[in-house]
Structure 1
Amino acid sequence: MDLSAVQAALSDKSYSTIAPLCDDLLLQAASRGSTTDEWPYAVHLLSHLYVNDLNSARFFWKSLPQEVKDARPELAAVWRIGQCLWNREYAGVYTAAQGFEWGPELADFITAFLERYRQRIFQLLTKAYSTISIADVVHFMGMSEDDATNYAVQNGWSLDAATKMLTVNKPKAQTNQKLDASKLQRLTECVFHLEH
């Protein structure tokens, strides 16, 4: 089985392309009756988590034979991350990812996943809160108190050190729609035509 495209995507850190690539290659292998002993199951599962496709990750996990799940500790470790995501155990995602000794094939991928996940959580916190305690940010972001505070401040939030609260800096809504004169003229003519 030729997995060079998957290896190339991993080397190039093109992580968002791996899930569809693995899905297609696995279907091709199944249609030819090829063995999948060398299949990068952990990479495949993590690729679905990376693009936040929890349904596909869950389906992929359920479709695997039990002997594959039992024989591959890295695969089981990736699934623990998936379970935490599924159950919205925010701190558990970091604990599961950082609590396993990842092999060279997955170490960079896990780091990239955590950074992407942290960014996604930070965006959700920005939308959901106007003020939030540092302790809550620590919980959601999986960082130390100092790191979480620095991350938030570097991203435009402000700190009240006395109360240990962060004030969220909401991004301004963009309303850059410009109406050029010709469009306004056509609209005026259309309305005039409908009225008369």
Structure 2
Amino acid sequence: MDFTPLTEALASKSYEKIADICDNLLLQAAAEGVAYQDQWPYAIHLLGHFYVDDINSARFLWKSIPSEIKESQLELAAAWKIVQKLWTRDYGGVHEAIREFDWSQEVQGFVAAFSELYTKRMFQLLLSAYSTISIQDTALFLGMNEDDATNYVLQQGWDLDPASRMLTVKKQTTVTQQKLDASKLQRLTEYVFHLEH
């Protein structure tokens, strides 16, 4: 089986493409009747699905993996543990599951990129869900120690009340630029001109 597209995507850090590449290769192998199960990169395939936040596909992939492979591939089991934490919304547990396994050289960069992406997703969740939050809870969500989490959010403009150890969430203002449509401006000018005369 030719895994060149997958190897190239990993090398170029195009992690958002991994799930689709693996899905297509799996379909191709099935269509050609190729025996692939012993050499299939299940851990990478699973990581690919949750990198793009497709937990349902990750769960379906897990169900299709033969039991003997699930039991024999430790990295696959570690990736599945992350999926379980994501599924149950155990936000801190996701970070723990990432840190507690010694990932292979092949997927270290992929897992690190997912960890960074997941931290950003959690930060956006905190922005949308909270107006104030404790340092302890912030650290749990972001997968950091309390000092690092505090520094991270303070750099994003949040405020800290040292007495209560509470953080005040500062909503990020989104600046929308309105495009000036020449035809609308022309109609408005004609309308104003008509009113004046």
TM-score by length of 1: 0.91
Q: Secondary structure at the match of 1:102?
A: coil
Alpha-carbon distance in 2 for matches of 1:46, 1:62: 15
Alpha-carbon distance in 2 for matches of 1:5, 1:176: 39
2:63 paired residue number: 62
Give aligned pairs, total: 190
Pairing of 1:69-80 with structure 2 (within 5 A): 69-80=70-81
Q: Which runs of 5+ in 1 are unaligned?
A: 190-196
Deviation at 1:138, TM superposition (A): 1.1
Pairing of 1:22-171 with structure 2 (within 5 A): 22-36=22-36, 37-171=38-172
- 2:84 maps to a residue whose letter is Q
Decide whether aligned partners of structure 1 residues 31 and 180 sit closer, same or farther in structure 2, where only a CA change above 3 A counts: closer
Q: Write the deviation string for residues 84-112 of structure 1: whole angstroms up to 9, x where unpaired.
A: 00000011101111111111111111111
Q: Secondary structure at the match of 2:171?
A: coil
- 1:116 maps to a residue whose letter is L
Q: Secondary structure at the match of 1:5?
A: helix
Pairing of 1:14-29 with structure 2 (within 5 A): 14-29=14-29
Q: Which runs of 5+ in 2 are unaligned?
A: 191-197
- 2:115 maps to a residue whose letter is L
Alpha-carbon distance in 2 for matches of 1:141, 1:69: 29
Q: Write the deviation string for residues 132-181 of structure 1: whole angstroms up to 9, x where unpaired.
A: 11011011111101010011111221222222111111111434224435
Identical-residue share of aligned pairs (%): 59
How much is the aligned-residue C-alpha RMSD, in angstroms?
Answer: 1.7
